Amino acid sequence: MLTDGQWAVLGPLVEACRPPAKAPPRNLRQTMSAILWRHQNGAKWRAVPDVLGPWWKAAQTFIRWSRLGVWEQLLALMQKDRVELGMTFLDGTNIRAPPKAAGAPRKRIRQNNATSVRRWAGLGAALEPPGEASVSFAA
């Protein structure tokens, strides 16, 4: 949740940027907290805690405001008013890629040499039901 001090700084800026609506938004502070929580944690919208309100309301607000350019306006206002912003970095070493993405060679195909043929023939003979004729392999 946004603290009182954070909302005192952010609230007027959000009110200046938000698009006009028929009715004023309810629980705008809670919705903003949900949006910020989701982006800090990198979680899915459905993972937003119930304390921060319904997840769909935060997602809908974020998407609508993205299309209308509200976030860019808010950033410009914050930079103009010299509000200190934190920085976030995504380090690519933490994201695992499958071996094929790195150009890993294919697994070696088993070659049929004399030893492996005898081994497979012995296994086949052991699994064969009793009383049936068996095929012998000469090496």
Residue 55 C-beta-side C-alpha neighbours within 13 Å: 11
Taking residues 28-32, report their average pLDDT: 93
Cβ atoms within 10 A of the Cβ of 59, count?
A: 18
Interval 38-59: pLDDT, tens: 988 888 999 999 999 999 999 9
Q: What is the pLDDT of residue 84?
A: 64
The dihedral over CA atoms of 104, 109, 111, 112, expressed in degrees to the nearest 10, equals 160
Tell me how far apart the alpha carbons of residues 60 and 69 are, in angstroms, rounded to a whole number.
Answer: 14
Structure tokens at 104: 């890993």
In the structure encoding, which two tokens stand for residue 8, read together?
Answer: 């005192």
Name the least confident of 17-21, 38-42, 77-81: 77-81
Q: What is the mean pLDDT of residues 73-95?
A: 69
Q: Please check the confidence at residue 76 and state whether its pLDDT lies above 80.
A: yes
Q: Which range has the top average pLDDT, 33-37, 79-83, 114-118?
A: 33-37
3-state DSSP of 81-102: CCCCCCCCCCCHHHCCCCHHHH
> Domain ranges in the chain?
4-19+26-87
Q: Could you tell me which residues come within 8 angstroms of residue 9 by beta carbon, excluding any fewer than 6 positions away?
A: 83
Rg of the chain over Cα atoms, rounded to whole angstroms, equals: 32
pLDDT of residue 50: 93
The answer on pLDDT for 70 being more than 70 is yes
Tokens standing for 53? 């309100």
